[in-house]
Structure 1
C-alpha cells in the first residue's frame, strides 16, 4: 500500500497520572472495599435496569458486580481523563497507534461495508478497497471448496491467531457446516497432534490450509512440511490442488508448491485476524453469505463502540469493571463460563486476545508500570466448570469475577436440556451473589456470597451474534489498554523463547551445554 498512514501523536494520559485515579483510590477505601451487592439489589429497585443494557445482539446484566453509580461515574471520569475517546478515534482514523511497530490498527476495517467512509483518509480508503477485493476472492474460494464433493476434509495448519480464532468460530457455528465437510485445526508442533489426524485422512480428499503471514512460523512450517511429506508418501500427486496458503510470502509458497494464496496486511494483528483471509476455514464451514453476516455483526458492535456515549457503551463499561477489579480490588483473574457447547473454545481464544494484548509491564513510552494490567483469563463451558473449579470460585479465599454467557435459543438441542442448562447458569450467578448461611451451622456448607459476575445473553448463536460478541471483547481489551497507557497491539513477549529454542534445538543433538545455566544444562543432558 503506497498511501502513508496519517500522522499521529498519542492523546492518552496514563491512568495513575489523572485526578480520577486518586479519587477512585479514596472511594475504594471509603466504600468500594465494603460494598455489598446483595444490599444494593434488595434496596435499589432501579439497580438492575441501571446496570443492564442492550448492545447489538447482546444483552448485558452488570448488576451483580461490586459497583454503584458513584463508582461508575468515577470510572467514566477516568476514561475521559485518560483520553479513551480520542485514542479510539485515532484507531478508527487509521493512525499508527501500534507505535512500537509503526503500524495502524485496522482489524475493524475488515468488517466495514464496501462503501465510501465519511471523512476517510486516503490510507483508509485505499485499504478498504483492498480489503473487499481480498474478501471477494476468499469467499469465492470458500464456495469453490464447499461445492467440491471430492474434498471432504479441510485441515487448517496455523498457530496463535491463525488457529484460535478460526477454530473457535467454526466450532461455535457448527450448525451451519455441511455434513459432508469436516474441518480440523492443527497448531501444536508436537507431532502427536498432526500424526493422529493424518491416520484418519485420505490425501485425495484433503485440502490443507497453511496459515502463516510470513510463511516462516516454526510450528506451522514444521507441520506443513510433515503434511506435505505424508501427502506425497500416500500417493498424492497434486500439491497445488491440495495445499493452499494464507500468507504474504509468495516466493516461499511457490517453492513449497503452492499456487493458491490469499494475503493480508501488517495492520492486522494475528489475534485480530479471523475477519481476514485467516478466516477462510470459517467461510468454508458456514458459507459466503453467513461469513458476511459474521462481519455485519462485528460491524454493528464497531458502530456501537464508536457512537454510543461512554455511559451506555458496553465495551467501555466492561473494560472499566476490569480496571476497577484489577487495580483497586486486586482481583488477579477472571473466569469466562459460556453456557453453550458451541462456545467451548471461547475462553482459549480470549486468553490470547486479552493476555497477549494487555499483558504488559511497561507503558507506551517504555516506563515500568507501578500497577497491574491484564488479569489471568481462563474458563470452561458450563456445566463442566461447576464440577471442577466452581468450588474455588464459591468458597475459595480469592474472589474471581465470573462472566456467564448464555443463549436464549439453543442450536441443535435435545428436548428439555436447554432449560436445564439455563437454570444452571442462572443458579450459579445467583449463588455467587447471594451466598447462603449454613443450614446446620457447619462452616463447610456456608457460602459467603457477594461474589461478582456479569451475565451476557445472546438471543441465539448466529453468525451476527458471534461477530458482535468477538468485537465486544476486542474493543473491551482496547479500552482497558488505553486506560493502562500500554500498547495493546504488539507482542514482544513471544520472541525470547523462540530465539532460545533455535539455539537449544541443535544442542539436543550434540549434547553441548556450553554457556547454559545449570538447570537447563542438566535437563538437556537428560533429554539427549
Structure 2
C-alpha cells in the first residue's frame, strides 16, 4: 500500500482537537434563538454563494470562534495539501494504489490531468465525443431497432454508482428530457424489478445500456442476461442483439462476447470510483434523455464547483464549510445521523445518491495506514422529499431525543408554475428550519393554550407536550432553478464535502472493501444454491436458510 502524497494526521491527537472540545462546552450552552435575537447580522455573516449555490449556515450551533477553530483543524489535518493532491492526480486512494480523479471528467480548462505521468484528457474527450455521436444517432433516428423503428425506451442496467448517480440527475432534470424518449432504471437483482419494467415495453423500440466496469457485477449481468432472453423471446434474433444493447465497461472482451459491437462499448477507468462516475460515460442515459449540450452544461456546473473548492479560502469554501460542520457535529456533539431534505419533487432521489456517496466513502473504521480509529467517522445519511416528511419523520427531528443536523435544499424558481404551489413549498421549507432553530418554550405553549380558552389544569397537563426544544442545527441550500448547471454544482458540492470529512478523519474515502466482502460471499452462496458448490464451511444459520430456500423452490 502506497504512502499518501500529503501528511495525514490523527485528528484527536492535534492540539486544535482539545481546543474544539473546550469550545464545544461553551457553545452547547447557547441557544440559536437568542443568538439571532442579539445579532441582526448573523445570517449575512454565515452565508456563502458560489457556482450558483447559496448556502445559509447561520442556523448552526456555531460562533465566529467556531469557524476559526474548525478552519484551523482543516489546516492542521492537511486539507489544503490533500485538495492539491487530488487535483494533481496523486494516488490518494492508497489502498488500491489509484488516484481519485473524477474532477478530470468535467474539466473545462485547457490543462492536463495526469495519471502516472500520462495526460488522461485526450481519453476523456474521446469518450465524450463517442457519447455525442451515439446520442445524435439515437435522437436523429439514424440508429434504429431491428425492425427499423425509432427507439422510444431506454433501459439502463446498473447498480450502485452506475445507477444512483445517473438516476438522481435524470430525475432532477426531467423538464429537459427529449420528447419521445422514456428512461427506465433496473438495479435490483429481484426479478420483479426487471419484470415490471419490461411489461409494457416493445423489444423493437427498446435500447439497453449495460453498465458494469468488470462486466461481471452479479446483479447487473443477471439483469442483462434476462433482458437479452426477453429480447430473443419476443422477436429479436441473436444477430440483432448489437442493435439493442450497448455497454459501459472496462472489459471489452466480455461485452463483445455478450453480443455488443466494439464501437458500442464505452470506456471506464480505474481512476474513477463508481459513486463519482455519473460525469463519465456512466452518464450516457442522462445525455440520451436531456441531450448532449445539457450534459455538457452539467459537467460545466460541476467544474464551477471544482474551481471554487480548489481556490476559495477554507472559511469561504462551501464544501469545506459543510464538511467541517459535519465533523463538528459527529465528533463534538455525538451526532450519528444527518438528514438530506430536498424540497423539490425532481430531487426526490437525491437522498439515496448522497447516502451512497457519503456512507460508502466514509463508512470506515481504520485510518489510511490501517490502524483502528477511535473517533467517529461517517454518519448515517437519510432523508426524503419535502414537504412529505413533515407529516412523518419531522416529528422526531423536532421533539425526539436524537441530535440530527439537516440540510434543506430547494430551487427558488420552479419549472411548473401552478398557482402558489411553489411559494407554499418554500414557506414549508423555511418554516421547518426555523422551527428546528427556535423551538417553542413552555411559557409560549402555556400562552398559546390560554388563548385557546383552556383551563389552568388543562394548560398544565397539555403544555409540556407542546414544548419544542429548538436549537437543532440545519443548513439551507438554495439555487435559482434546477438546471443542468446548478444540479452539476450541487452534486459536486456534496462530493467535495465528503472528501473534506474523509481527510479530517484520516480515512480513505475512495475504497469500499466492505462492499467487496458481500459480493464474494454472495457469489459463493449462489454457487451452493445452483449446485455448483457444497455447503461445507457455511455457518449453521446460513446453511439452514439455504436448505429452506432449496426445499421451497424444489431445488433439492
> Do they superpose with TM above 0.5?
yes
| 1:27 corresponding residue in structure 2 | 23
Q: Measure, in 1, the Cα distance between the counterparts of 2:203 and 2:283.
A: 23
> Is contact 1:18–1:81 with CA below 8 Å preserved after alignment?
yes
Q: How does 1:17-416 map onto structure 2 within 5 Å?
A: 17-29=13-25, 31-113=26-108, 115-117=110-112, 123=116, 126-148=119-141, 150-237=150-237, 238-259=240-261, 260-416=264-420
> Is contact 1:155–1:183 with CA below 8 Å preserved after alignment?
yes
Q: Measure, in 2, the Cα distance between the counterparts of 1:458 and 1:152.
A: 32
Q: Measure, in 1, the Cα distance between the counterparts of 2:492 and 2:316.
A: 16
How does the TM-score come out when normalised to structure 1?
Answer: 0.96
| 1:450 corresponding residue in structure 2 | 471
| 1:3 corresponding residue in structure 2 | none
Q: 1:164 to 1:275 in 2, by over 3 A?
A: same
For residues 33-80 of structure 1, what are the alpha-carbon distances to aligned partners after superposition, in whole Å with 9 as ceiling and x for unaligned? 223111111111221111111111110000001111111111100000
Q: What count of residue pairs does the alignment treat as equivalent? A: 520
Runs of 5+ unmatched residues, structure 2 = 142-148, 450-458, 551-556
- The Cα RMSD (Å) is 1.6
Q: 1:426 aligns with which of 424, 430, 449?
A: 430
Runs of 5+ unmatched residues, structure 1 = 1-5
Q: How far 1:329 sits from its partner (Å)?
A: 0.1
| 2:456 corresponding residue in structure 1 | none
Q: 1:12 aligns with which of 2, 8, 11?
A: 8
Q: Measure, in 2, the Cα distance between the counterparts of 1:123 and 1:524.
A: 46
> Is contact 2:298–2:488 with CA below 8 Å preserved after alignment?
yes
Q: 1:379 to 1:8 in 2, by over 3 A?
A: closer
Structure 1 SS opposite 2:55: strand
For residues 165-210 of structure 1, what are the alpha-carbon distances to aligned partners after superposition, in whole Å with 9 as ceiling and x for unaligned? 0011000000000220000000000000001111111001000000
> Is contact 2:5–2:85 with CA below 8 Å preserved after alignment?
no
For residues 111-130 of structure 1, what are the alpha-carbon distances to aligned partners after superposition, in whole Å with 9 as ceiling and x for unaligned? 0026234xx65857620111
> Is contact 1:94–1:124 with CA below 8 Å preserved after alignment?
no
Q: 1:57 to 1:212 in 2, by over 3 A?
A: same
Q: How far 1:146 sits from its partner (Å)?
A: 2.0
Larger Rg belongs to: 2
| 2:509 corresponding residue in structure 1 | 488
Asked if 1:459 corresponds to 2:480, the answer is yes
Q: Measure, in 2, the Cα distance between the counterparts of 1:116 and 1:425.
A: 41
> Is contact 2:127–2:267 with CA below 8 Å preserved after alignment?
yes
> Is contact 2:114–2:120 with CA below 8 Å preserved after alignment?
no
How does the TM-score come out when normalised to structure 2?
Answer: 0.91
Structure 2 SS opposite 1:77: helix
Q: Measure, in 1, the Cα distance between the counterparts of 2:439 and 2:402.
A: 15
> Is contact 2:330–2:379 with CA below 8 Å preserved after alignment?
yes
Q: How far 1:7 sits from its partner (Å)?
A: 9.4
